A and B are shown apart, each in its own frame.
Chain A
Amino acid sequence: MGPLSRETWAQRLGAFRASPSAFMAGPEGEDLGRDLLSDLRSEKLSEQTKVSLLALSLEYPAELWPDTPAAEAAVTSLLDTLDLLPPRSSALRRPLLLAATTALVAGGALGPTSGASLRLLPLLLGLASGRALGQGIGPSSEQRPLQATACECLRELESCKPGLLGGYLGLLRGLLGQGGPVGPVQPLSLLLALALRNTLAIQARARASLQGLLTARVSPTGGGPWNWTLAEEGDAHLQPQVSPWLASEEEECGLSALEPSPEEALELRAAVAQLLDTSYLLTPVAQAQLLWQLGWALRGLRGQLPVLFKPQLVRLLGTAQLTLLHAVLALKAAFGEALFTAQDEALLLHRLILAAQHPALPLPAHLFYLHCLLSFPENCPLGPTGEEALPLLLEPQLCCGLLPSLLLDPMALLARLHLLCLLCAEDEEKEEKGQGQSPRRYLEELLASLWQRAALHGGPRALATLCFQASYLVAHCLAGQPTVLRPLIRGLAHLYRARPVLAPHFVDLLDQVGSELGEPLRVVLQQEVVSRPGGDEALGWHLQMLAKVADRDAQSATLSFLQAAAVHCTNWGLQQALLQVCRALLRAGVGGGLADLLQALARQLEDPDGRDHARLYYILLSHLSAPKLGVALGPSLVVPALASSLVAENQGFAATLMVQEAPAPIQLSVGARRAEGPVPVLQLQVEVLEPVYSLELRFRVEGQLYAPLGAVHVPCLCPGRPARPLLLPLQPRRPAPTQLDIRALYTTTTGLTCYAHLPPLPVNFADLFLPFPQPPEGATLGFFEELWESCLPKGTESRLWCPLGPQGLEDLVSRHLEPFVVVAQPPTSYHIAIRLPPDSRLLLRLEKAQAEGVPVVLRTDDWSVLPLVGDYLRGLATAV
């Protein structure tokens, strides 16, 4: 594609600027960077157009050449273009240098392995030192601006890669020279100051000395390779700045690690003095930059260096220049008493107070100075750092001109109101002296005027906002002062009476302020609303207000207000607002009268949605306990950002009123057997992983083997607290083992009702064993024989071999069958009688044990239990 015309480029650049991302995503995006580079060499385009192309590359290099190789290639191309320029004067050289520098940094290509860097750096240094490497770049008339530009480019490179010029400090000092500078003073001074600061910081971090860096005179035209030593050191990379305001002691020690030798200290002093002495030749903003840099460079360095700044201070303090005064404050923060005596500090503070109100300065400057005043870097700070506070030296009478008045711009009013609040806070501490106008009375009057303005019918929203911001500020700063809060509450109530349309502001204020103001204000506003007739034209606002402030107090007044209001709630919006209040009352736990009101609403409201809601609230009120109600109506945990409040509300209900299925935090196990009582009872051990309330355990047995089991209720279980075992009576219809299916229903600490399916529990055959009633002493044998005989002929007899473990017969009996033994003749024979509910019996005769087992004769009146008995007896030896 041939070079584009001027018009095409203008159009293209316009489209790009309108939205760079959209343009780059479009079809032309990909070629833009390439076309730009090639058209810079086009002979058809004017210099002006080319400058505009370069201007674009200065702003959007990352879009044009998105990766490092592309950036590297672009810089090379830009430098080639520079070389190809005819020797006559051209407007392109400066922007080409700027563009190459920008592309190199933005593309991340700057470094010792980059060819473009190795071309650009010597070129810039050559230009900066006034010798253009013999290449004769541009005519002599252009040398001075190019020299300045080269310095700026080097400064930018040094900013992005600290230490880059560390090896050239001596050279730069030479250029500023004793016998008059060999170039424009400002760019060279700023470059030297930055390089000096970075070098000192790097050397201090590396615990290295200055190594003669200040004096080494490297020739820029020597053609030797670029000195990357300092820039490539481990600690040299760009690091967040530690500002003089935030520096702690240890960080300062960092710089004091640098201990220059006496000669080095002398050189350093000379370099700083040289920079400061010619600083009046710099523009004010550049002077300020120089002072910040040198302040940063020398902070924490031992020696007499801060004194060097002293001669500059009087001159600087006299100006109105924002940057200069700010730089002086930075020096103050950096050096404190080493540079500013107590008198100097007072003078600086006076100048600051003056600047914060001087009629010749613009408002943004006033406000910034006021901030500086309240963040003043004091020699002996008392309060916590980082918060705006009154400096110790700032006596109240000095602030007279800085107090707020209604005629000010809102921002100025708030800033000065803050100051007034701080004064009032101090005033309270010092006790009132009763002289003149007290700041607190002035504050009251000011607030009163603000309320009056906000009460103005049809006034702009901004006035109301200002008034509430002021009220908030006062409440925030003077929360502990009832003498201030009382009139504040009165005034706000008055404002509400005058302009209920401000209800959203009141709600917001109540949300933001602490309880010192919030609670009494809520009460007053509630009274304010409920004392009105229901049919007010501002009813919607009253309801909105009431939904925020309604609580258990003043119930009857609130309810009668709502009753009166209900008649006037003729549209959907008002009805919803009314229901919102009901909802707030429900949450607050208001009962009795509210139920009547809700019932009435459920009948009377025109809108079916409103009626439904009223009915729902009524049902909730009548069915849920107060805490549960609170949770059900509380803010939903899953509020979707965009859904209406009704949707959110319904989701809240759904979450709270529905039973949630959850993984069980409960573990159940069967405890020791209790062979007693009329029916078998299972002892259950419960353990919980989290607190569980109102636990209900439901049990079910497959088929018709057992009669239905009752549920077990536990009011509360906590993890780690031992629980009493739960007793579960079993009613088997046949003596058979089974499995219990278990479900748990419980309430969590958050009020949700949950449901869980627990792992099934086995009911073993032995769990059903019950003993016979004990026969009288001496009649035991007869009793057993009687039972034994009664089993036949209906029942059956069987012989079994019961294996014995190592423990022997005696032990086996005592462990498993003890409660059922009727006649015992240890160790030779045992007669055992077991009752099997519902109405079966099992009788065992254990005879003399042999080596590995014992022969058992059994009789039962129930055939079906035989296999179970067999399994049971065979399992005894291995059972624990």
Chain B
Amino acid sequence: MAQRAVWLISHEPGTPLCGIVRFSRRYPTVEKRAKVFNGASYVPIPEDGPFLKSLLFELRLLDEDKDFTESRDSCSRINKTSIYGLPVGGEELWPVVAFLKNGIIYACVPLVEQTLSPRPPLISISAISQGFELLFGVQDFLYSGQKNDTELNTKLSQLPDLLLQACPFGTLLDANLQNSLDSINFASVTHPQKQPAWKAGTYKGKPQVSISITEKVKSMQYDKQDIADTWQVVGTVTCKCDLEGIMPNVTISLSLPTNGSPLQDILVHPCVTSLDSAILTSSSIDAMDDSAFSGPYKFPFSPPLESFNLCYYTSQVPVPPILGFYQMKEEEVQLKIMVNLKLHESVKNNFEFCEAHIPFYNRGPITQVEYKVSFGQLEVFREKSLLIWIIGQKFPKSMEISLSATITFGAKNHAKQPFDHICIGGTAYLKLHFRILDYTLTGCYADQHSVQVFASGKPKISTHRKLISSEYYIWNSKAPAPVTYGSLLL
């Protein structure tokens, strides 16, 4: 269940090596075991330099991908998971867990407690999921609340000490590195005996509980006969419980209004102590029926110190909040576009902001735009070949707005204008960006009175809600558009 080594590599395209090892840690006692377990199939951990080179090549992050290279581009080299075999010194180092996120490559080599030839199935290797969890933990630590490079560097410099705490011998003790940082700071406090390992200390101060529900709505709209529009709500319930005592118990209930859409696919934080089977079984995979469980959804738990995501859910609301169509036609050197958007009457017409981004890919810069909008303003970004329609805080009374425009483009310049491999020919989209505060599309809310806290003192309870758009696409209905299987199930 241990890791043989861990690396953090920043991907820096354009530099000679295309990357720099920002952090690495090896575990010699685990390596010792690897040698015994893997036997003749054992491949030692390489030094940072060769590892970097091999990993970047495998992840196609080197700049030189112009020519066909069989060891990388051969059609039979198929990776279906983030787990790779790296050629190192004539042998293959496997399994290497690695992924790129925000310009940083997270990588580790999990210990396989058996021979590597034949390769055992990944599912049978316990250290694989531990490795993922370690890397996710490092990623969360680096990016939680991080705003700039200086902060990132500070956090990177804390990593050696943190891993000494959270993963001293290669076996991960806690993926929550913030908790490890806290436990270093809490070290001098005397602990009660039943202190959970995921809680570095106890809170002292005014009791309060904060619950916020954030729903993201995604949509793919086609305005076509044979392709169904799709949309989905994904909710996250975040809690911060400042409560005294070692393990205060809290129960939060999420409720729906009478016509609310049932919550599905609920995943909970590990601190939740028990789950109703109705919550466990309500899923979007099965066909929906009227008897779907519609709450209240009770989550009893004992909270950690820090802010955490109590649960995630999805939901299938009956209609998308904004329904629209986008028509784009190419006429000689010009593009003619027409956009129509309609806010559903049930949706709160009070946005923090609402914009439609209309990008034009694989074309030159915009040289000329003639347009007419029924509402809001249009901003033109000529070099980026982008139009932004700023709709503002409210839709007009009719709830329906439209835009029509004729656009002329200059000569294409590959270096400057955006390239896209989906928006070929007439395939094009507009993307909606909006946010509505104190509102959820499902209607889901956490009633202050339904929050039960078994701890000393009456806590102050605050609740927040918001709806955000995410991947909200409206595709040009006059050309082919990428579809998901679900869209074809008419």
> Which chain A residues border B168 with CB–CB below 8 Å?
58, 98, 149, 152
**A505 near B173: Cβ-Cβ < 8 Å:** no
Interface residues in B23-71 by Cβ distance below 8 A to A read 24-29, 31-33, 36-39, 47-49, 60, 65-68, 70
Q: Which of B191-199, B253-261, B401-409 contacts A (4 or more CB under 8 A)?
A: B191-199
Q: In the assembly, what is the distance between CA of A375 and CA of B120, in Å?
A: 11
**B234 near A360: Cβ-Cβ < 8 Å:** yes
**B488 near A442: Cβ-Cβ < 8 Å:** yes
Tell me, yes or no, whether A738 is within 8 Å of chain B by CB.
no
Q: A373: shortest Cβ distance to chain B, in Å?
A: 9
> Which chain B residues border A185 with CB–CB below 8 Å?
193-197
**B486 near A400: Cβ-Cβ < 8 Å:** yes
**A186 near B285: Cβ-Cβ < 8 Å:** no
Give the B interface residue count (CB, 8 A).
119
Q: A101: shortest Cβ distance to chain B, in Å?
A: 7
> Which chain B residues border A460 with CB–CB below 8 Å?
65, 421
Tell me, yes or no, whether A273 is within 8 Å of chain B by CB.
no
Tell me, yes or no, whether A367 is within 8 Å of chain B by CB.
yes
Main SS class of interface, A: helix
Q: In the assembly, what is the distance between CA of A368 and CA of B97, in Å?
A: 11
Q: In the assembly, what is the distance between CA of A472 and CA of B78, in Å?
A: 9
Known: A360-B312, A368-B122, A453-B421. A160 touches B33 (CB 8 A): yes
Q: In the assembly, what is the distance between CA of A318 and CA of B125, in Å?
A: 22
Q: In the assembly, what is the distance between CA of A411 and CA of B48, in Å?
A: 26
Q: A48: shortest Cβ distance to chain B, in Å?
A: 10
> Which chain A residues border B196 with CB–CB below 8 Å?
185, 280-282
> Which chain A residues border B421 with CB–CB below 8 Å?
453, 456, 459-460, 463
Q: A50: shortest Cβ distance to chain B, in Å?
A: 13
> Which chain A residues border B485 with CB–CB below 8 Å?
400-401, 403, 405, 437, 442
**B37 near A360: Cβ-Cβ < 8 Å:** no
**B26 near A473: Cβ-Cβ < 8 Å:** no
Q: B25: shortest Cβ distance to chain A, in Å?
A: 6
| Contact partner, B197, options A21, A184, A437, A442, Cβ 8 Å | A184
Known: A59-B25, A286-B173, A323-B130. A314 touches B280 (CB 8 A): yes
**A375 near B33: Cβ-Cβ < 8 Å:** no
Tell me, yes or no, whether B346 is within 8 Å of chain A by CB.
no
Tell me, yes or no, whether B174 is within 8 Å of chain A by CB.
yes
Q: In the assembly, what is the distance between CA of A241 and CA of B73, in Å?
A: 35
Tell me, yes or no, whether B467 is within 8 Å of chain A by CB.
no
> Which chain B residues border A182 with CB–CB below 8 Å?
193
Tell me, yes or no, whether A574 is within 8 Å of chain B by CB.
no
Q: A794: shortest Cβ distance to chain B, in Å?
A: 85
Tell me, yes or no, whether A372 is within 8 Å of chain B by CB.
yes
> Which chain B residues border A319 with CB–CB below 8 Å?
267-270, 272
Q: In the assembly, what is the distance between CA of A275 and CA of B322, in Å?
A: 52
| Contact partner, A364, options B132, B265, B273, Cβ 8 Å | B132
Tell me, yes or no, whether A330 is within 8 Å of chain B by CB.
yes
> Which chain B residues border A242 with CB–CB below 8 Å?
114
**B75 near A243: Cβ-Cβ < 8 Å:** no
Tell me, yes or no, whether B17 is within 8 Å of chain A by CB.
no
Tell me, yes or no, whether B148 is within 8 Å of chain A by CB.
no
**A367 near B422: Cβ-Cβ < 8 Å:** no
Tell me, yes or no, whether A638 is within 8 Å of chain B by CB.
no
**B422 near A238: Cβ-Cβ < 8 Å:** no
Q: Which of A137-145, A202-210, A705-713, A850-858 contacts B (4 or more CB under 8 A)?
A: A137-145
Q: In the assembly, what is the distance between CA of A195 and CA of B106, in Å?
A: 32
> Which chain B residues border A505 with CB–CB below 8 Å?
68, 73, 75
Known: A318-B266, A442-B488, A508-B73. A283 touches B176 (CB 8 A): yes
Q: In the assembly, what is the distance between CA of A464 and CA of B32, in Å?
A: 42
Interface residues in A269-314 by Cβ distance below 8 A to B read 280-289, 292, 314
Tell me, yes or no, whether B188 is within 8 Å of chain A by CB.
yes
> Which chain A residues border B118 with CB–CB below 8 Å?
386
> Which chain A residues border B483 with CB–CB below 8 Å?
405, 445
Q: In the assembly, what is the distance between CA of A102 and CA of B164, in Å?
A: 13
> Which chain B residues border A187 with CB–CB below 8 Å?
173
> Which chain A residues border B312 with CB–CB below 8 Å?
320, 358-360
> Which chain A residues border B78 with CB–CB below 8 Å?
414, 469, 472-473
Contact with B along A97-110 (1 / 0, CB 8 A): 01001100110100
Q: B183: shortest Cβ distance to chain A, in Å?
A: 8
Tell me, yes or no, whether B113 is within 8 Å of chain A by CB.
yes
Tell me, yes or no, whether B424 is within 8 Å of chain A by CB.
yes
| Contact partner, B49, options A19, A106, A144, A245, Cβ 8 Å | A19
| Contact partner, A141, options B33, B36, B190, Cβ 8 Å | B190
Tell me, yes or no, whether B123 is within 8 Å of chain A by CB.
yes
Known: A21-B47, A320-B267. A368 touches B68 (CB 8 A): no
Q: Which of B7-15, B79-87, B330-338, B441-449 contacts A (4 or more CB under 8 A)?
A: B79-87
**A326 near B65: Cβ-Cβ < 8 Å:** no
| Contact partner, A55, options B65, B160, B424, Cβ 8 Å | B160
Contact with A along B261-292 (1 / 0, CB 8 A): 00001111110111101011101111100000
Q: A832: shortest Cβ distance to chain B, in Å?
A: 77
**A437 near B285: Cβ-Cβ < 8 Å:** no
**B75 near A468: Cβ-Cβ < 8 Å:** yes
Tell me, yes or no, whether B236 is within 8 Å of chain A by CB.
yes
| Contact partner, A462, options B29, B47, B65, B484, Cβ 8 Å | B65
Q: In the assembly, what is the distance between CA of A51 and CA of B198, in Å?
A: 25
Tell me, yes or no, whether A721 is within 8 Å of chain B by CB.
no
> Which chain A residues border B287 with CB–CB below 8 Å?
397
**A323 near B114: Cβ-Cβ < 8 Å:** no
Q: In the assembly, what is the distance between CA of A323 and CA of B33, in Å?
A: 22
| Contact partner, A401, options B48, B101, B486, Cβ 8 Å | B486
**A283 near B175: Cβ-Cβ < 8 Å:** yes
Q: B315: shortest Cβ distance to chain A, in Å?
A: 11
**B120 near A246: Cβ-Cβ < 8 Å:** yes
Q: Which of A347-355, A563-571, A836-844 contacts B (4 or more CB under 8 A)?
A: A347-355
Q: In the assembly, what is the distance between CA of A187 and CA of B489, in Å?
A: 52
Q: In the assembly, what is the distance between CA of A19 and CA of B73, in Å?
A: 30
Interface residues in A346-403 by Cβ distance below 8 A to B read 347, 350-351, 353-355, 358-365, 367-368, 370-372, 375, 377, 386, 397-398, 400-401, 403
Q: B155: shortest Cβ distance to chain A, in Å?
A: 17
Tell me, yes or no, whether A81 is within 8 Å of chain B by CB.
no
Known: A314-B277, A436-B489. A287 touches B68 (CB 8 A): no
Q: B53: shortest Cβ distance to chain A, in Å?
A: 13
| Contact partner, B424, options A19, A159, A281, A452, Cβ 8 Å | A452
**B188 near A141: Cβ-Cβ < 8 Å:** yes
> Which chain A residues border B171 with CB–CB below 8 Å?
155-156, 159, 289
Q: B114: shortest Cβ distance to chain A, in Å?
A: 4
Interface residues in A228-244 by Cβ distance below 8 A to B read 238-244
Contact with A along B136-155 (1 / 0, CB 8 A): 10000000000000000000
Known: A406-B422, A414-B78, A508-B74. A245 touches B484 (CB 8 A): no
Q: Which residue of B lies closest to A19 (CB)?
A: B47
| Contact partner, B66, options A246, A437, A461, Cβ 8 Å | A461
> Which chain A residues border B97 with CB–CB below 8 Å?
364
Q: A791: shortest Cβ distance to chain B, in Å?
A: 84
Can you sample 15 A-B contacts with CB below 8 Å?
A59-B25, A105-B32, A185-B196, A322-B132, A326-B126, A358-B267, A359-B232, A368-B129, A400-B485, A442-B488, A456-B424, A461-B73, A464-B73, A505-B68, A509-B75
16 further A-B pairs in the complex, CB-CB below 8 A; given A364-B82, A464-B73: A280-B273, A284-B198, A318-B266, A327-B126, A329-B123, A358-B312, A359-B218, A359-B232, A368-B82, A398-B285, A400-B285, A403-B484, A407-B422, A411-B81, A465-B75, A508-B70
The chain A residues found within 8 Å of chain B, CB to CB, are: 17-21, 51-52, 55, 58-62, 89, 94-95, 98, 101-102, 105-106, 108, 141-142, 144-145, 149, 152-153, 155-156, 159-160, 180-187, 238-246, 280-289, 292, 314-315, 317-327, 329-330, 333, 347, 350-351, 353-355, 358-365, 367-368, 370-372, 375, 377, 386, 397-398, 400-401, 403, 405-407, 411, 414-415, 418, 436-437, 442, 445, 449, 452-453, 456, 458-465, 468-469, 471-473, 476, 504-505, 508-509, 512
